Amino acid sequence: MKYTYQYQALPTTEQKLESNLWLRICQYWYNRQLGDRFDWWECNRSYVNACPLICHLPELRDNPNYYSQKKYLPEIKTDLATVGWSLELLDFSRVPANTLQEVCKRVDKAFDRFLAGDSKGKRSGKPRFKSADRFRSMVFEGAGVELHSCSLGGKYIFVKMPKLGLLKVRLHRPIPDGAILKQVQLIKKADGWYVNLRLDDSTVPTAPDGLDLGWDNSLGMDAVLHEDDYIATSDGEKLPSLKSFRRSEKRLAKVSNRKSAKKKGSRPRRKLAKREAREHQRIARARRDHAFKTAHKIVRTGKTVFFYENLNLKGLSKRNGAKQDEQGKYLPNGQSAKSGLNKSWNDAAFGQFFTILEYIAAKAGAVAIEVNPAYTSQLLSYRDEFIFTDCSIREYWDEVENLWVDRDINAAINIKRVGLDEFPTINRRRGNAVVGRSTTNIASATKENATNKVKAWWDSTSKEVLSTLRSLEKPTLYAKH
């Protein structure tokens, strides 16, 4: 299995100057290739709905791609490249060849995702030209990259880099035995330089090909985003949230306001901009650390299959549409309240958490699967009835079973049922949701005249759901009642 470890790099002054120069050359090479592709599109495309009466014939050439643009490198290295607007001279021969070729791959991938989409069919936006703040990483691979040596105390390691020499790295976590270094990525962040070591380790287990889905070896998870709860599991456990941005919001706003009051281009504004970047970095690191700790806690439950919601996070954090009356006057649309909810969705970063969960589960030999969460928060898990029809209903008292049912844990159980293909079919009739095929709702049929499939499911899964709900040992769920 291939995975990445990140360490803090401690380059010398000469290495810092050389790395900054390499970043500037790679940034210019990225923007130059991007502009070449945009020029070809503008000169060779034709609009569908209109045709110009007068047009010029451009120079006929093929569509630029990865291979055609990579062929320019030997010619560019023969002389200094001149930046058009600043007349800056850049020496491409100082940068390793594999690093410049990787920039070509980055441009090609950005355009492919813009035109055709990624492996999941999701298209990205139009590629943008990179400024110095946006282009911050370089990739090194090939024969010149290797782990050279380690310090006597084991606190540092030296990585051999092409044309850069030995790079000192702080070894805060040991590199696993048997791991082979495949790639090194050098990143410039707000607080210094970092390296990502791409390792290939054959001892790490991979996810099994054939999934053995069952009630005992699977776990459902519901994204809560209510008060201090973050994730609810089908085992009856609620994991806390961090709210890193909410905790640091005032401190970040104070620094941002001080920066905006300074003159643009001045030294005090640049100093405050670096401080603001470090504040954002601290928030992002706390959020990522919380995601890793939560994912490890979930994987340590011993399950092999984890089901989570396929959330439309872009739609959940979208602004409300404008409302107008007959005279064109804008009416209140609830955006003032929605803005706080959008901030909470972005602060929770469920997309990042589920991606980390897939990675941690794969290293443990498990698998994480996304499922459709439609109606899982409304339906009662052991008796398919619409109970939680409003978000204000957080708990439900079942007089038949003498049981308090928590909304979030009930939703997590339903997500688990969706993953196991045991969730009922929901139909829409005159705008209302109606339960169609159901294996748990036996209110209309007694056990004597029910089918064998219904009897088997009722004797197994429904009892498991009820036993899970009855065995909850969280006093906070029932103390108020």
* Residue 480, pLDDT above cutoff 80: no
Q: Which residues lie closer than 8 Å to 101 by C-beta, 6 or more apart?
A: 70, 73
* Residue 146, pLDDT above cutoff 80: yes
In terms of pLDDT, which residue wins out, 123 or 77?
A: 77
User: How confident is the prediction for the chain on average, in pLDDT?
Assistant: 87
Residues 226 and 80 in one domain: no
pLDDT band at 428 (very low <50, low <70, confident <90, very high): confident
In a domain, 332, yes or no: no
Tokens of 105: 């791959």
Region 252-256: mean pLDDT is: 96
Highest mean pLDDT of the ranges 119-128, 243-252, 431-440, 470-479: 243-252
In a domain, 274, yes or no: no
Measuring CA to CA, which residue among 96, 47, 56, 107 is closest to residue 73? Answer: 96
Region 288-294: mean pLDDT is: 96
Residues 119 and 228 in one domain: no
In a domain, 263, yes or no: no
Residues 123 and 236 in one domain: no
Residues 120 and 162 in one domain: yes
Predicted local distance difference test score (pLDDT) of residue 402: 86
Residues 309 and 454 in one domain: yes
Number of residues assigned to the chain: 481
- 238: domain CATH number is 3.30.420
A 10 A CB-CB count for 58 gives: 11
Residues 121 and 236 in one domain: no
Predicted local distance difference test score (pLDDT) of residue 27: 96
Could you tell me the strand order of the sheet in which 2-9 lies?
137-141, 180-189, 192-200, 2-9, 165-170, 156-161, 146-150
Contact 472, 409 (CB under 8 A): yes
In a domain, 264, yes or no: no
In a domain, 187, yes or no: yes
Region 282-302: mean pLDDT is: 96
Q: Which residues pair with 81 in a beta bridge?
A: 90
Predicted local distance difference test score (pLDDT) of residue 440: 57
Residues 153 and 55 in one domain: yes
Contact 19, 188 (CB under 8 A): yes
Residues 185 and 300 in one domain: no
Contact 3, 204 (CB under 8 A): yes
pLDDT band at 135 (very low <50, low <70, confident <90, very high): very high
Per-residue three-class SS string for the chain: CEEEEEEEECCCHHHHHHHHHHHHHHHHHHHHHHHHHHHHHHHHCCCCCCCCCCCCCCCCCCCCCHHHHHCCHHHHHCCCEECCCCCCEECHHHCCHHHHHHHHHHHHHHHHHHHCCCCCCCCCCCCCCCCCCCCCEEEEECCCCEEEEECCCCCEEEEEECCCEEEEEECCCCCCCCCEEEEEEEEEECCEEEEEEEEECCCCCCCCCCCCCCCCCEEEEEEEEECCEEEEECCCCEEECCCHHHHHHHHHHHHHHHHHHCCCCCHHHHHHHHHHHHHHHHHHHHHHHHHHHHHHHHHCCCCCEEEEECCCHHHHCCCCCCEECCCCCEECCCHHHHHHHHHHHHHHCHHHHHHHHHHHHHHCCCEEEEECCCCCCCECCCCCCECCCCCCCCEEEECCCCEEEEHHHHHHHHHHHHHCCCCCCEEEECCEEEECCCCCCCCCCCCCCCCHHHHHHHHHHHHHHHHHHHCCCCHHHHCCC
CA–CA dist 224, 415 (Å, integer):
13
152-162 pLDDT, tens per residue?
788 999 999 99
40-75 pLDDT, tens per residue?
888 877 777 777 777 676 677 788 999 999 999 999
A 10 A CB-CB count for 468 gives: 21
Residues 38 and 81 in one domain: yes
170-205 pLDDT, tens per residue?
999 999 888 899 999 999 999 999 999 999 988 877
Residues 351 and 466 in one domain: yes
Residues 12 and 120 in one domain: yes
Predicted local distance difference test score (pLDDT) of residue 460: 59
Measuring CA to CA, which residue among 186, 33, 19 is closest to residue 95? Answer: 19
Burial class from Cβ neighbours inside 10 Å (0-12, 13-18, 19+) for residue 300 reads exposed
Q: Over pLDDT 90: what percentage of the chain?
A: 59
13-50 pLDDT, tens per residue?
999 999 999 999 999 999 999 999 998 888 877 777 77
Measuring CA to CA, which residue among 168, 157, 161, 136 is closest to residue 146? Answer: 161
In terms of pLDDT, which residue wins out, 402 or 67?
A: 67
pLDDT band at 122 (very low <50, low <70, confident <90, very high): confident
Q: Torsion angle of alpha carbons 24, 25, 28, 33, nearest 10°? A: -150
In terms of pLDDT, which residue wins out, 395 or 481?
A: 395
Domain count, the chain: 2
In a domain, 330, yes or no: no
Domain that holds residue 144: 2-200
CA–CA dist 310, 369 (Å, integer):
9
In a domain, 331, yes or no: no
pLDDT band at 389 (very low <50, low <70, confident <90, very high): confident
* Residue 477, pLDDT above cutoff 60: no
Q: Torsion angle of alpha carbons 407, 412, 414, 417, nearest 10°? A: -160
CA–CA dist 84, 75 (Å, integer):
18
In a domain, 111, yes or no: yes
Residues 229 and 315 in one domain: yes
